[in-house]
Homo-oligomer: A and B are copies of this chain.
C-alpha cells in the first residue's frame, strides 16, 4: 500500500516544447502511485490511499489507477483541485522541464483525520511512503507520520523513499525532522548519499568512501533499517544516460552492472520503478542481490515506457535479466 498524491501530468507531444503546438498529452502519476503501478504490473498486490477532487478530473484519475490493477478502496474524494504538472521532456542538449501546479490540491488540503489508518492498513503487506508527501502541506505530513506509526504498531514493514526536492518545500529547513521521522519507521530506505546526509545531519564529501560511511551512519541511526537502495545516473544528453543500482544491507552490498540507455522514451518515474523493482526483488528474505538486479531491470525498462508508471510485467523483467532483445513472437 502506498500513500501519496496523484497528479495529472500534461506533457508536450513529439519532443516539442510545452505548447509549442496546441495540445497536450496526458497521464496520471505521482511518486508513490508509480511504485504501486510498478508492483501491480509485476502481478503483486498494490493499493493506494490518496484524496482526489470530486469532479471529472478526479474520476479520470481514479479510472486510470484502477485500470492498472491498484486497489482504490482507500481513495477519498474531497474538496480542492486536481494536482497538475506540466512536462517538457527535453531532447538532446535541451534539458527537460517540470512546472508543478499542485498547490491547494485535494491531497495537499486533506485533513489527516480523514485517514483511518488502522482500517486502511488492515491486510497490507507493506506501506510505502516518500518524502514528497510531507512537503505538500501539514495535513499530508501528519497523515504520513500517522500512517508510518500505525504500520509500525501493526508490524507492517514500511519503505521510505527520501526523494528530497527542495523546490516543493515552502520551508526546506522543515524537511529534515519530518523526513527523519518517516525514515525512523523504515526497513527499506531509498536514499543516495545526499539524502542520507540530510537525514543524519552530516556533510557528504562527495566520494564513494564517504557514501559508505553515511550508509553505515544511517544503519546506526535507524534501528529498523535493513536495506538502503540508491541509483546512480550519468547523463550525456536529455535522452541518453548510464545507470546503475546499489543495494546496501547491514551485512553487505550488491551493485548492479552499469547500463547505457540511449534514445530514452520517458525519464519520469524511473526512480519509482526502481523502488518497485527493489521491493519486489528483496522479497521476504531481503535478497539484496536480487533487489539490485530487479531494481536495475525496472529502472532500465521504465526508460522505455511512456508515462509516469512502469508497466513492465514479469515477462519484460525476465527478458531483461536474460538479455533478450529480439522481437517476441
Chain A interfacial positions (CB closer than 8 Å to B):
8, 10, 13-27, 55-57, 59-60, 62-64, 66-69, 81-82, 84, 86, 88-101, 103-104, 165, 167, 235-240, 259, 261-265, 267-268, 300-301, 303-307, 311-313, 316, 319-320, 324-329
Contacts and interface: CB of A to CB of B under 8 A. Distances in A.
Nearest to A263: B263
A327 B237 contact: no
Contacts of A268: 327
B307 A20 contact: yes
A315 to B, nearest CB: 9
A215 to B, nearest CB: 23
A233 to B, nearest CB: 8
B265 A237 contact: no
Count the copies.
6
6 interchain residue pairs of minimum CB distance: A67-B67, A92-B304, A19-B60, A91-B304, A63-B67, A96-B327
A27 B17 contact: no
Nearest to A306: B16
B66 A267 contact: no
21 contacts: A15-B265, A16-B307, A17-B311, A22-B26, A23-B23, A59-B313, A90-B304, A91-B263, A92-B264, A92-B300, A93-B300, A93-B303, A93-B304, A94-B301, A95-B316, A95-B325, A95-B327, A96-B327, A97-B327, A237-B262, A262-B263
Contacts of A14: 306
A95 B238 contact: no
A99 B58 CA distance: 11
